[in-house]
């Protein structure tokens, strides 16, 4: 009996590691290059949060470098490649060239850039589909608006910003083809006063819903909407608490989860080179209602938004976006 | 001799303080030092990183040194670097030599704006050059978001330039400029007048130096070098322009020049020291998760040590 148990144990022990002999012993190694300090409470901080989540979830060995000069982009990537890292992130479109060069030299490392379009055998970008959530915001605006008109305030007219407005307009016009969306760009992302004035002018022009893509200057949009008690939407983060009396919902992008999502694919050796479109289906993009104001919305609107969200998640509905 | 000792002392102080600061992060100073050294000169890979970063530092360092030698506080190497990169990008279609020349001319012209403001309105260069840095930065920001944006109009960057410069090419140019600066300062009449102007402009005027013209020429040379640094960085490293193109090389040039005691050949050593420090700091962060700010910290220690030493010297303390 005892001998049998020992033999059995030996058998199990002998079998166990042979399936993935290296995986069991080898640590999953992940590196991250950020263009700035990870204490910035913004773009770089959320990337680092993603890296820490990867460490926690996969027990990965992590490494991070704040690359201050462009010369360090390539140096950082090459260093991760030379040290046999499984995965290296470059947090921004500006890392694409460096990723392609390092990728050609170190075939065993996967290089991922946050946004971008460069794809090679072991290089891919992850691109976020915030448009899926802004499409839903457009539906809410069109169904709840009394004037048939909504306004959008942008910072700088970047393709990524225009794209979210295209989706917003498409969502609204899917409800009411005659629904009008007025666009204003302030030309920067930090002038709160300009964003506030732009918002007031939209409200004066009869817009009774406001959506913004003005980053920091978005606070000026919320100020104006609070002054005039006009409902509006938050973007990128859950901004509902910034003006809880007027922000009806936010289009939210969960960057740390995106890092974990891509890391899981690489760890499970499922990586295929292509643009990784990350949206609602992957749990990266979501629509977050402001619970305080949700009751003021017609139940049919909520139901409609839920229905369309399911279509987007299942892939039955492709949300229009800018061509870039 | 004393100056060389001061520079060496400042560099050693920076490294020692860096190593000691490692204790605060729970790393043995010896281990930290060895990572710093192996990460900067320990392999051909690390050495390459050090060289690539030393080149712009050398050129901006020389730029600052020449202006300071003439008694002008040119804090504008960053802006001159940026317009140098812009001009180089625009002239890239005319070939390597023309584009590098264009970067020098643009940097010189940018620096001369400060000199003109000095002559017309007596505006101090220390202010005007720093403000011109911001103008240059925003000019670049506008260019990469507007007229010079890549053909696909997706990201705020330009398309890649068609020509490029190898690292050995960069080294040859930078070393030639370094030797030429030394020759200019110490082996020509122009250099003598330049140094005399910086040493005592009133005495220089009595000695027959046209001080204003001398300052303007020094600024043009200084700006030309910073502009060239931008051109070389574009053709050798980044190949395209984007907002963070200059990445502080202009400001770091001030530390490089000060550690080099404003002497072109010592500036070469100083640039390699800071290049190695930055590269080693990168490895330190990748390997030990110690913030890359240690490189900036090192720069600050160097400057403070030098200021301490020079004020002691002025008070007559050995």
Q: Is the pLDDT of residue A13 over 50?
A: no
A35 lies within 8 A of chain B by CB:
yes
Give the pLDDT score at A324. Answer: 64
Quick one: A193 exposed, middle or buried, by C-beta within 10 A (0-12, 13-18, 19+)?
exposed
Contact A192, A216 (CB under 8 A): yes
Q: What percent of chain B shows pLDDT beyond 90? A: 68
Q: Is the pLDDT of residue B90 over 90?
A: yes
Rounded-to-integer distance, Cα B70 and Cα B74, Å: 10
A70 lies within 8 A of chain B by CB:
yes
Confidence of residue A8 (pLDDT cuts 50, 70, 90): very low
Q: Is the pLDDT of residue B19 over 90?
A: no
Contact A85, A75 (CB under 8 A): no
Domain count within chain A: 2
- Nearest-Cα distance to chain A for B182, in Å, is 27
Last residue of a domain, one of A107, A128, A149: A128
Q: Which residues contact B247 (CB under 8 A, 6 or more apart)?
A: A68, A69, A70
Asked whether residue A106 is assigned to any structural domain, the reply reads: yes
Is the same domain home to A81 and A59? yes
Q: Is the pLDDT of residue A75 over 70?
A: yes
Q: What is the pTM of this model?
A: 0.84
According to DSSP, the β-strands at A87-90 and A29-34 are parallel
Q: Is the pLDDT of residue A38 over 60?
A: yes
- Nearest-Cα distance to chain A for B288, in Å, is 8
Is the same domain home to A92 and A139? no
> What is the mean pLDDT of the segment spanning A244-262?
95
According to DSSP, the β-strands at A247-253 and A231-236 are parallel
Is the same domain home to A290 and A193? yes
Is the same domain home to A165 and A297? yes
Give the pLDDT score at A71. Answer: 84
Q: Is the pLDDT of residue B150 over 60?
A: yes
Asked whether residue A216 is assigned to any structural domain, the reply reads: yes
> What is the mean pLDDT of the segment spanning A158-178?
92
Q: Is the pLDDT of residue A261 over 70?
A: yes
Is the same domain home to A308 and A226? yes
* Interface with B, mutate which of A39, A62, A65, A71 (most B CBs under 10 A): A71
Domain count within chain B: 1
CATH code assigned at B51:
1.10.3470
Asked whether residue A1 is assigned to any structural domain, the reply reads: no
Quick one: A13 exposed, middle or buried, by C-beta within 10 A (0-12, 13-18, 19+)?
exposed
Q: Which residues contact A263 (CB under 8 A, 6 or more apart)?
A: A28, A30, A54, A57, A58, A60, A87
* Interface with A, mutate which of B243, B292, B294 (most A CBs under 10 A): B292
Among the residue ranges A130-134, B54-58, B287-291, B295-299, the one predicted with the least confidence is: B295-299
* Interface with A, mutate which of B146, B238, B276, B296 (most A CBs under 10 A): B238
Confidence of residue B28 (pLDDT cuts 50, 70, 90): confident
Cα A21 to Cα A24, A26, B78, B204, distances in angstroms: 6, 9, 53, 78
Q: Is the pLDDT of residue A2 over 60?
A: no
- Judged by CB atoms closer than 8 Å, whether chains meet at A75 and B152 is answered as no
Asked whether residue A13 is assigned to any structural domain, the reply reads: no
Asked whether residue A31 is assigned to any structural domain, the reply reads: yes
Give the pLDDT score at A4. Answer: 52
Give the pLDDT score at B312. Answer: 61
Element of type H or E holding B210:
none
Contact B187, B179 (CB under 8 A): no
- Judged by CB atoms closer than 8 Å, whether chains meet at B53 and A31 is answered as no
A76 lies within 8 A of chain B by CB:
yes
pLDDT digits (tens, 9 = 90+) for B109-118: 999 999 999 9
Please provide the average confidence, as pLDDT, over all residues in chain B. 90
Q: Is the pLDDT of residue A11 over 90?
A: no
Give the pLDDT score at A179. Answer: 96
> What is the mean pLDDT of the segment spanning A71-82?
93
Rounded-to-integer distance, Cα A51 and Cα B289, Å: 13
Rounded-to-integer distance, Cα B273 and Cα A259, Å: 36
Last residue of a domain, one of A113, A128, A143: A128
Contact A253, A129 (CB under 8 A): no
pLDDT digits (tens, 9 = 90+) for B253-279: 999 999 998 999 999 999 999 999 889
Is the same domain home to A142 and A229? yes
Give the pLDDT score at A1. Answer: 44
> What is the mean pLDDT of the segment spanning B214-234?
97
Among the residue ranges A188-192, A307-311, B152-156, B255-259, the one predicted with the least confidence is: B152-156
Is the same domain home to A190 and A307? yes
B193: how many CB neighbours lie within 10 A of its CB? 21
Give the domain extent around B96.
Answer: 2-314
CATH code assigned at A110:
3.40.50.2300
Asked whether residue A263 is assigned to any structural domain, the reply reads: no
Among the residue ranges A155-159, A268-272, A288-292, the one predicted with the least confidence is: A155-159
Q: Is the pLDDT of residue B315 over 70?
A: no
Is the same domain home to A36 and A180? no
More confident call, A319 vs B29: A319
Is the same domain home to A106 and A76? yes
Cα B119 to Cα A83, B123, B209, B234, distances in angstroms: 56, 8, 16, 33
Task: Name the residue of chain B whose CA is nearest to A78's CA.
Answer: B45
Contact A175, A141 (CB under 8 A): no
Confidence of residue A173 (pLDDT cuts 50, 70, 90): very high
Count Cβ neighbours within 10 Å for each residue of B267-306 and write b for 16 or more, e otherwise.
bbbbbbbbbbbbbbbbbbbbbbebbbebbbbbbebbbebb
Give the pLDDT score at A15. Answer: 44
CA Rg value for chain A: 23
> What is the mean pLDDT of the segment spanning B231-244?
93
Is the same domain home to A47 and A110? yes
Confidence of residue B20 (pLDDT cuts 50, 70, 90): confident
> What is the mean pLDDT of the segment spanning A188-211?
94
Give the pLDDT score at B314. Answer: 54
pLDDT digits (tens, 9 = 90+) for A91-148: 998 899 999 999 999 999 999 999 888 999 999 999 999 999 999 999 999 999 999 9
Q: Is the pLDDT of residue B38 over 60?
A: yes
> What is the mean pLDDT of the segment spanning A6-11?
46
Is the same domain home to A112 and A96? yes
A92 lies within 8 A of chain B by CB:
no
Give the domain extent around A118.
Answer: 25-128
- Residue A26 Cα to chain centre, angstroms: 30
ipTM, two decimals, is 0.84
Among the residue ranges A41-55, A70-84, B23-37, the one predicted with the least confidence is: B23-37
Asked whether residue A7 is assigned to any structural domain, the reply reads: no
Q: Is the pLDDT of residue A31 over 90?
A: yes
Is the same domain home to A154 and A124? no
Give the pLDDT score at B194. Answer: 94
Residue B236 DSSP class: I
Contacting residues of B for A186, CB less than 8 Å apart: none
């Amino acid at each position: 009996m005892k001998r049998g148990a020992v033999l059995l144990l030996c058998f199990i022990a002998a079998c166990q590691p042979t399936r993935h002999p290296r995986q069991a012993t080898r640590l999953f190694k992940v590196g991250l290059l950020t263009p700035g300090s990870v204490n910035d409470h913004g773009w770089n901080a959320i990337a680092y949060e993603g890296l820490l989540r990867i460490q926690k979830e996969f027990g990965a060995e992590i490494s991070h470098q704040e690359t201050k000069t462009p010369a360090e982009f390539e140096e950082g990537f090459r260093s991760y490649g030379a040290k046999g890292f499984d995965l290296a992130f470059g947090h921004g479109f500006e890392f694409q060239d460096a990723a392609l060069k390092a990728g050609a030299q170190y075939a065993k490392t996967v290089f991922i850039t946050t946004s971008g379009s460069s794809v090679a055998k072991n290089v891919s970008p992850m691109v976020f589909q915030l448009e899926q959530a802004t499409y839903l915001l457009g539906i809410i605006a069109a169904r709840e608006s009394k004037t048939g008109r909504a306004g959008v305030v942008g910072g700088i007219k970047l393709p990524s910003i225009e794209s979210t407005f295209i989706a917003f307009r498409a969502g609204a016009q899917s409800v009411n083809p005659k629904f009008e969306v007025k666009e204003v760009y302030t030309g920067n992302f930090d002038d709160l006063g300009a964003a506030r004035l732009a918002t007031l002018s939209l409200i004066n022009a009869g817009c009774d819903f406001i959506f913004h893509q003005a980053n920091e200057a978005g606070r000026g949009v919320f100020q104006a909407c609070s002054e005039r008690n006009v409902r509006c939407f938050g973007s990128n983060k859950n901004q509902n608490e910034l003006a809880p009396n007027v922000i009806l919902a936010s289009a939210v992008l969960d960057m740390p989860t995106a890092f974990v999502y891509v890391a899981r694919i690489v760890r499970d050796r499922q990586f295929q080179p292509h643009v990784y479109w990350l949206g609602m289906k992957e749990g990266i993009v979501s629509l977050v209602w402001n619970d305080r104001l949700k009751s003021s919305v017609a139940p049919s609107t909520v139901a409609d938004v839920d229905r369309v969200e399911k279509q987007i998640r299942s892939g039955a509905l492709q949300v229009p976006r800018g061509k870039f | 001799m004393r100056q060389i000792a001061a520079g060496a002392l400042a560099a050693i102080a920076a490294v020692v303080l860096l190593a000691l600061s490692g204790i605060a992060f729970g790393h043995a100073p010896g281990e930290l030092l060895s990572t710093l050294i192996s990460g900067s000169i320990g392999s051909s890979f690390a050495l390459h990183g050090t060289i690539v970063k030393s080149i712009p530092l050398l050129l901006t360092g020389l730029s600052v040194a020449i202006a300071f030698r003439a008694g002008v506080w040119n804090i504008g190497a960053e802006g001159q670097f940026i317009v140098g990169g812009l001009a180089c990008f625009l002239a890239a279609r005319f070939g390597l030599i023309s584009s590098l020349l264009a970067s020098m001319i643009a940097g010189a012209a940018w620096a001369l704006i400060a000199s003109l403001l000095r002559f017309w309105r007596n505006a101090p260069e220390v202010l005007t050059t720093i403000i011109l840095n911001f103008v240059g930065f925003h000019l670049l920001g506008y260019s990469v978001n507007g007229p010079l944006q890549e053909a696909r109009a997706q990201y705020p960057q330009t398309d890649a330039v068609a020509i490029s410069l190898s690292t050995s090419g960069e080294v040859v140019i930078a070393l030639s400029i370094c030797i030429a600066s030394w020759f200019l300062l110490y082996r020509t009449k122009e250099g003598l007048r330049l140094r005399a102007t910086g040493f005592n402009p009133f005495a220089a005027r009595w000695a027959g130096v046209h001080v204003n013209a001398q300052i303007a020429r020094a600024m043009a040379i200084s700006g030309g070098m910073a502009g060239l640094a931008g051109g070389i960085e574009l053709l050798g490293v980044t190949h395209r322009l984007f907002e963070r193109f200059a990445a502080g090389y202009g400001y770091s040039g001030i530390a490089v020049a000060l550690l080099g005691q404003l002497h072109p050949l010592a500036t070469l050593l100083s640039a390699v020291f800071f290049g190695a420090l930055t590269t080693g700091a990168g490895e330190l962060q990748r390997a030990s998760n110690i913030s890359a700010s240690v490189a900036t910290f090192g720069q600050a220690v160097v400057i403070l040590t030098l200021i301490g030493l020079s004020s002691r010297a002025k008070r007559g303390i050995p």
